[in-house]
Amino acid sequence: MLYLTDPENLASVWPDEPAYRADQLRSWLYETPVLTAEEMTNIPGELRDGLELWPFEIETEQVADSGRTIKWLMRAPDGASIEAVLMGYARRTTLCISSQAGCAMACTFCATGQFGFERHLQAGEIVAQVAYASAYLRRHGLGTSPPRVTNLVFMGMGEPLANYSHVRTAIDRFTDTIGMSARSITVSTVGVAPAIRRLADEPWRVSLAVSLHAADDELRTTLVPLNKQYPLEEVISATEYFMDQTGRRPSIEWTLIAGTNDTTEQADKLAAIARRLRAHINVIALNPTPLTADRPPTPAAARAFIDRLTASGANVTLRDTRGQDIDAACGQLRARKLMAGS
């Protein structure tokens, strides 16, 4: 499970080999990733034999959207589940990764939240999701999309800012070891205000997405339990601090739930917050989960919500929901496995 070894310590894999072996290995793991050790062609067979790369097994691989979306459910040796979803577009290939197995935030509409927390993922387990997708893309491509991970979003399972130190190390590896640009990496948070401030002070400038879902404390507390600890004003002012420190405009994520947060009142309050943050709003219709009666709005209701935002000058996109036929929404593949008792 070489991805659990710090890339700077790879010399420890073959203590008796010359130093360039560690460089070759680092290159195969992080620069031109391969799915199997046999593909590491400049490393002698006897050294390659028995090398274990991945800190997980691929339990399921599901393909949707005419081959443009691939979802993996990965399983760590201790049974922890990790999900990653690869999405191909015309000019970018985005990988959605997990920062924790399960999640402790318990947002009411989220499948991961409904099934609870398993454990934090280590930095190597976070980085290995990207390496696996990169190795897959190098071998198979993804239609006409770029055959490499161009964008990374922490929107799979878990709350990245509740697993700060491991996420921080993972981002160091993405930027330093793999050579990705920080701006192509989006950290999505439900609003851990002190950690947003900490992120603002890091040397790299990643993109920040704040999952708001409600524009006043009364409603937000019913959807996002963490709002009791970090109410809206604290989340907004931490996000302002992030913007001041990094010069990066944040995005606001808004999962639209019929009859709950799709009202004109919420739209108007949201528009005011977006103006204050100069934020782009991403609206996504709810992907229904097994344990609640929440439903997405009708297309007409979603359109009315978007139009109301646009009319007040907000910058807003209705995001397409990829991979619905393979439960690609947050935590849904794991949820289905749990429901089936497997």
- The binding site for ligand SAH (CB under 6 A) comprises 105, 109-111, 154-155, 159, 188-190, 211, 253, 255, 284, 286-287, 289, 329-330
To ligand SAH, the closest distance from the beta carbon of 41 in angstroms equals 38
Closest to ligand SAH by CB, 136 vs 154, is 154
The minimum distance between CB 69 and ligand SAH, in angstroms, equals 15
Asked whether the beta carbons of 56 and 115 are under 8 A apart, the reply is no
- Comparison of 70 and 329: residue with beta carbon closer to ligand SAH: 329
Which residues are marked as active site? 83, 330
| Nearest CB to ligand SAH, comparing residues 5 and 255 | 255
By C-beta, is 5 or 100 nearer to ligand SAH?
100
Q: How far is the CB of 209 from ligand SAH (least distance, A)?
A: 6
Q: For residues 155 and 236, which CB has a smaller minimum distance to ligand SAH in the complex?
A: 155
Q: Output the smallest distance, CB 228 to ligand SAH, in A.
A: 16
Nearest approach in angstroms of CB 257 to ligand SAH is: 9
